[in-house]
Amino acid sequence: MKISFRTIQDLLGRSKKQRAELIESYVLIPSSHCRRRALCCSLLPEITLLEALAAIRCLLDLNPDMRLQLTKGLVQYFFLNSVCINSCPFLNQRNCLIYENRFFGCRAYGLWPKNHYDELAERSHCVNRHNQRLWQRFGISLPQEVVDFQIPYCPYVKPDSDTSVNNETLTRAADKIEKLSGQLAPWHDSFRQTYFSDLSFFTASLAFGLNEAVRMKFAFVKDYVITENQAGLSEVINNLPDVFAGLA
Ligand code: SF4
């Protein structure tokens, strides 16, 4: 089920309580420090609808130029993420532009025990290989290095205190966030099933409509792989309006 502008407006209004509780849920994840190599920011993480709404709220609080720049980054990320590795659109010179509101996936990265992280990485690799086969049916071979790309496990993330972090701690926080977002039924499931928990797909769909966003992605990926021509994509991105402005 598609999520319209009007629905987002409505959800932003009625999710204030859940967004406040989302911040409290993040507290369950021990704060940590790292070498800020920004490895974890090589990809935009999957998120819940509630986290997407919190990110949209952040975008609305930015000045219009910065918001437009980020919106363009999100849309461009969606169009090209099957064929090249672009950093998370919120990353700016090793700094996260929404750091205080960064997502569960960003906070938990590096805190998972390595064996659990490897399982998660393998699961996402399976999804990539499945997508590769789908594209292949349309005669498009995705670059193998993109299909195989995994954010490496980072051993330099350390909790700030002596608190031990284990799967249960992080899973409890993830479950709580999932339940909070689930209160926004039926849209919580729509965000996962229709937009694959991907804020970049969601943003491109708001800009162009869901079917058109998918059609454009197909055309831009084909251009990229077959002709290496990105003129069409550049034109679309340069002319993209501030799609979130109507919500401000
Ligand atoms: S939201 Fe911020 S912390 Fe998370 S991946 Fe993007 S830049 Fe990195």
Q: Where are the domains of the chain?
A: 5-247
Ligand 1 atom at minimum distance from 45 CA: 5
- Print burial letters for 88-127: b (CB count within 10 Å at least 16), e (below 16): bbbbeeeebbbeebbbbbbbbbbbbeeeebeebeeeeeee
Distance from the alpha carbon of residue 233 to the mean position of ligand 1, in angstroms: 24
Q: Which of 36, 74, 88, 199 to mutate to test the pocket of ligand 1 (most atoms within 8 A of CB)?
A: 88
Task: Please give the Cα distance from 2 to 240 (Å, whole number).
Answer: 21
What are the distances in angstroms from CA 34 to CA 26, 71, 152, 195? 18, 28, 14, 31
Q: Tell me how far apart the terminal alpha carbons of the chain are, to the nearest angstrom.
A: 24
Distance from the alpha carbon of residue 196 to the mean position of ligand 1, in angstroms: 18
Q: What is the DSSP letter of 29?
A: S
Pairing of strands 32-33, 158-159: antiparallel
Residue 233 CB burial class (10 angstroms; 0-12, 13-18, ≥19): buried
Q: What is the pTM of this model?
A: 0.93
- Residue owning the nearest CA to atom 1 of ligand 1: 102
Distance from the alpha carbon of residue 37 to the mean position of ligand 1, in angstroms: 12
DSSP result, 98-140: TGGG--HHHHHTTTS-HHHHHHHHHHHHHHHHHHHHHHHHTT-
The pLDDT value recorded for residue 199 is 98
What pLDDT digit, counting tens, does each position of 143-179 carry? 999 999 988 888 888 888 766 677 888 899 999 999 9
Question: Tell me, what amino acid is at 96?
Answer: C
3-state DSSP assignment of residue 92: strand
What pLDDT digit, counting tens, does each position of 85-128 carry? 989 999 998 889 998 899 999 998 888 888 888 888 899 999 99
Distance from the alpha carbon of residue 88 to the mean position of ligand 1, in angstroms: 6
Q: What is the DSSP letter of 33?
A: E
The pLDDT value recorded for residue 229 is 84
Closest C-alpha to 22, from 157, 182, 168, 164: 182
What pLDDT digit, counting tens, does each position of 132-144 carry? 999 999 999 999 9
